[in-house]
Amino acid sequence: MVATEDFKITKTRKSKLGELDFNNIPFGKYFTDHMLEVNYDQGQWGTVEIKPYQPIMIDPACAALHYGQAIFEGIKAYKNEDGEAFIFRPEDNFKRFNISAERMEMPQVPEEIFMEGMKQLVKLDEEWIPAKPDHSLYIRPFMFSTDEVIGVKPSQKYKFMIILSPTGPYYSAPMRIFAEEKYVRAVPGGVGYTKNAGNYGASMYATAEAKRKGYDQVLWMDAFEHKYVQECGTMNVFFIMGNTAVTPSLADGTILAGVTRDSVIQLLKDMGLEVEERNLSIDEIEDAYKEGTLHEVFGTGTAATTSFIKELRYKDFVMTFETEKWKVGTEISRRMNAIKEGKAEDKYGWMVKV
């Protein structure tokens, strides 16, 4: 048991906040004054330190650098019109973090450290939360193995940290997406459902190839038939077909169980749409487009929020969409933002006060 009164808090002597231009904050580039750091060794968590943001010392033999036991989360904090700070569904990210930890044979992070540590850190740096539409404070909890040894085995030592980054939109314009047939992101029995750093490293080559062809991201497909869509770059993906929203099912463990995905499913149901979580083939998508029943395609994620897809290419077939005419995606964005900004009733209790 970790007692929160034992957290060791050292405040910075000189805030960097004055250097931040709130009118120009690209995603993930700036970090706040403080960070959280705690080490795990021999089955025990050490003292939780909240201290000035600073580099950390890593041994060249640090196991995570060699064998990839590294996981993370992405969460956002917002300010309402009264200037109060809230975090969006942090409990869900906490649970998913420990699901990732289990799959990667890493220790569970206790709730007091993750949740209380995050709240205290955000409270300390709450002036860094941009109070602007489409802006937020991105919270990045992460953990990696720190044994100093060459050899493939689970580490005895780990470091858990939280850093904070004030941020604007991740994808600022409607996207062009390339349906990827050759490279795969995840296989059943693998680690696709975790937020393990390697999933992102493994995606970069295919994403760079898509960018070289003029696309923003790839739409991943299943590893066996290269036919069933999974997720899109750093986002889950939704297809609006008639009055139904279809999103790939989480059942085979290849897809990240997005917290935004789950929220969007709820809001779609509130709007009266049918939601189907199921296998969806690229052929079905193409047919629906040809028949005129595929109306909208959008991605969802903590960083990406709701990102519209204006072009989807599969082989030589190009599907284009007039995103400015969309009703569903636009309404989902509006409802999500209204909840996050405290302008609409938070009927599911998603916003947790700091």
Contacts with ligand COI, residue ranges (CB under 6 A): 74, 200, 234, 301-304
Min dist CB 289 to ligand COI, Å, is 27
Q: Which is nearer to ligand COI, 49 or 134 (CB)?
A: 134
Min dist CB 97 to ligand COI, Å, is 12
Contact 248, 237 (CB under 8 A): yes
Q: Which is nearer to ligand COI, 68 or 74 (CB)?
A: 74
Q: Which is nearer to ligand COI, 165 or 323 (CB)?
A: 165
Query: At a CB cut-off of 8 Å and minimum separation 6, what does 60 contact?
Result: none
Q: Which is nearer to ligand COI, 146 or 234 (CB)?
A: 234
Q: Which is nearer to ligand COI, 193 or 314 (CB)?
A: 193
Query: Cα–Cα distance between 299 and 312 in angstroms, integer?
Result: 12
Min dist CB 76 to ligand COI, Å, is 8
For 75, what's the count of Cα atoms within 13 Å in the CB-facing half-sphere? Answer: 30
Angle ∠(260,266,272) on CA atoms, nearest 5? 135
Min dist CB 84 to ligand COI, Å, is 23
Tell me the β-bridge partners of 244.
241, 274
Collect contacts of 312-320 with beta carbons under 8 A, ≥24 apart. 312/177, 312/179, 312/219, 312/285, 313/176, 313/177, 313/178, 313/179, 313/215, 314/179, 314/282, 314/285, 314/286, 315/179, 315/181, 317/286, 319/285, 319/286, 319/289, 319/294
Min dist CB 195 to ligand COI, Å, is 7
For the chain, list the strands marked E by DSSP. Answer: 8-9, 34-41, 44-45, 49-52, 70-72, 75-79, 85-88, 136-145, 157-167, 175-179, 217-221, 229-232, 236-241, 244-248, 274-278, 294-301, 305-314, 317-320, 351-353
Min dist CB 284 to ligand COI, Å, is 27
Contact 55, 124 (CB under 8 A): no
Q: Which is nearer to ligand COI, 160 or 314 (CB)?
A: 160
Q: Which is nearer to ligand COI, 100 or 145 (CB)?
A: 100
Min dist CB 200 to ligand COI, Å, is 6
- Name the closest residue to ligand COI (Cβ): 74
Q: Which is nearer to ligand COI, 75 or 294 (CB)?
A: 75
Q: Which is nearer to ligand COI, 174 or 299 (CB)?
A: 299
Min dist CB 27 to ligand COI, Å, is 7
Query: Cα–Cα distance between 125 and 133 in angstroms, integer?
Result: 19
Cα-flanking dihedrals φ and ψ of residue 165, to 5°?
A: -140, 115
Closest CA to 306 of 134, 188, 165, 152: 134
Min dist CB 25 to ligand COI, Å, is 15
